[in-house]
Amino acid sequence: MLLPSRRPRGRPRLNRIRLPEAQQVSFVVYFQPSEAEPTDPESLKRAIAGWLEAHAPEPMRMALRRCADSDQLRLLVGERDIVADPPLEVLGWFRPGELEERLFREATHAAVAVAADIVAPMRPGFWTAAAAARALAQALRGVILDPAIPRLLPLDAAERSIPDDGRIVVPDHILLPASPNRRGLIWMTSKGMARFGLPELEIRDVPPHLQDALANVMNGMAHHLLTESAALASQAGGPPAELVVGSEIRLTLDELLHARGAVGHALPPEGARGWTMLGVRYRAARRGDALLRLVPPPPFQGQHSVWLTSVLSDLLGPLHEQVATVPTRSEGMEAAHRRALSELPAVKQRFQVGLREGEVLLVKHGFAGDPAADVEFMWLSVAAWEGDRIRGHLINQPRWRTHLRAGQEVDVRVADIYDWIIAHEEGEFEGGYTNRVALEEGETSDPPV
């Protein structure tokens, strides 16, 4: 939860996000032509009309048919060089499927679907371009490139129907690239918001273990901006010139779920209140895209990583509960501890060479209190390992060491490490030997390990 503090004096700063009158949305289909699939404009128009009949429910179908039959949709078909290929290394960032990549590499021709889009409910311009690309990919047996990111879409994208209300399922159209900085923390950005006339989002200095959970927050924020801009357009009766947001935005659990296509209202998990406050700072487009950075709101004082942890706790509840406690003097715990230490040099080498994408290193450390108190063992995600020191962030909420908080950055000696875990993207993990003992011998009265 956010720490109370006095608000700064003066009026809250407003972020005035400039919105375009209209912009072009495009998709590219790469293919190899054959006599069985004619590529003349009339044949492609019929293919699009037939696809809309099968995959666009009303009321979207009528709106998209009007766009597709008008000058709002343009089709370009020709040899591959009618458009510039994106760099292969950039395509690789978003892990294209093997078949999709092969079709892209072997394609000799390209078809481009371009439509004019405005900030409006149901986004008819965007969905016209998307529907046309899906129809062309199906008719030409090709693969779709989304150039706004850029990434190759899975082949089954050609069969996906258009939502009847035009809603944007955020992870389908907006991706979240991430890269580590020199301190071992993650810089998360969005890619794809700009084609909706909105600023890209970013969060800086994210502890590695929070990246996946904060992706839900960024998706929820994207949904919030899409919804707010569409509502403003509906009220104005046309494309608005700007979207004005304050220095703080209230984000709800429902928005996180709606961003993924869910409908209705959800009860917050146990320990969560179902909403949080996010500070935002807008930077208008200069050489690149406009950016909206998520930052601690004005009332918050403390470490940035503690704020990020509190955001997730507000929305989703505590991320890491203690599973069991057991005295460290037990024979099983000592054996697990010795095994963990024997493998620690190899773990250090793997970390310093570079873990695979999606992997996170956690280490367990005992935090002492006053001389008469027992040690409280907690896990931290490792951001840096230099010499005999490890810097990371607590992932547990302390029960006895009340001067510490979940998410807080701490610096510990390697010699004091008690256990380690390498967590994998798929949910599996290596190490964690003392945790296994704790599950077998767990008690509830001793400090957690």
pLDDT tens digits, 253-266: 999 999 999 988 98
pLDDT at residue 6, as a whole number: 40
pLDDT of residue 7 exceeding 60: no
Q: In 143-201, which residue ranges form alpha helices assigned H by DSSP?
A: 170-173
Sheet holding 143-146, edge to edge: 73-79, 109-117, 23-31, 143-146, 151-152
* Token duo for residue 76: 């370009």
Residue 445 has pLDDT above 70, yes or no: no
Q: Which residue has the higher pLDDT, 447 or 332?
A: 332
What pLDDT is recorded for position 8? Answer: 47
The yes-or-no verdict on residue 395 having pLDDT over 70 is yes
Residue range 67-98, pLDDT digits in tens: 999 888 999 999 999 999 998 888 888 888 99
Strand partners, 412: 390
Domains of the chain in sequence order: 23-159 (3.30.1400), 170-316 (no CATH), 331-441 (2.30.30)
Cα–Cα distances (Å) from 8 to 25, 186, 296, 297, 326, in that order, read 42, 29, 13, 11, 46
What is the pLDDT at residue 357? 85
pLDDT at 144 over 80: yes
Q: What pLDDT, on the 0 to 100 scale, is given for residue 389? A: 95
Structure tokens at 252: 């709800």
Q: Which residues pair with 188 in a beta bridge?
A: 178, 203
357 vs 30, higher pLDDT: 30
Distance CA 431, CA 434 (A): 9
Range 151-157 contact pairs with CB under 8 angstroms and sequence separation of 24 or more: 151/91, 151/94, 151/96, 151/175, 152/91, 152/94, 152/96, 152/97, 152/100, 152/101, 152/104, 153/100, 154/97, 154/100, 155/97, 155/99, 155/100, 155/103
The answer to whether the peptide bond before residue 59 is cis (omega within 30 degrees of 0) is yes
Among residues 23, 21, 122, which one has the least CA distance to residue 64?
Answer: 122
Q: What does the pLDDT average to over 406-424?
A: 93
Among 218-222, 299-303, 382-386, which is the least confidently predicted range? 299-303
Does residue 440 register a pLDDT over 60?
yes
pLDDT of 4 higher than 50:
no
Q: Which range (5-14, 21-30, 216-225) has the least confidence?
A: 5-14
Six-digit token pair at 18? 């400039």
For the record, the structure tokens of 302 come out as 């403390």
End-to-end CA distance of the chain: 25
Pairwise CA distance, residues 195 & 172, whole Å? 14
Using CA atoms, how far apart are residues 404 and 271, in angstroms rounded to an integer? Answer: 19
Do 420 and 382 meet the contact criterion of CB atoms below 8 Å apart?
A: no
pLDDT of residue 351: 94
Give the mean pLDDT of 305-327.
77
The pLDDT value given to residue 333: 86
The pLDDT of residue 369 is 65
For residue 317, give the DSSP letter: -
Q: Taking all residues of the chain, what is their mean pLDDT, rounded to a whole number? A: 88
- The pLDDT tens digits of the residues spanning 95-119 come to 889 999 999 999 999 999 999 999 9
Please tell me the predicted confidence (pLDDT) of residue 37.
73
Q: Which residues, including other chains, have CB under 8 Å from residue 273's CB and lie 6 or more apart? A: 1, 314
Q: Please name every residue paired with 379 in a beta bridge, in sequence order, or none if there are none.
A: 364
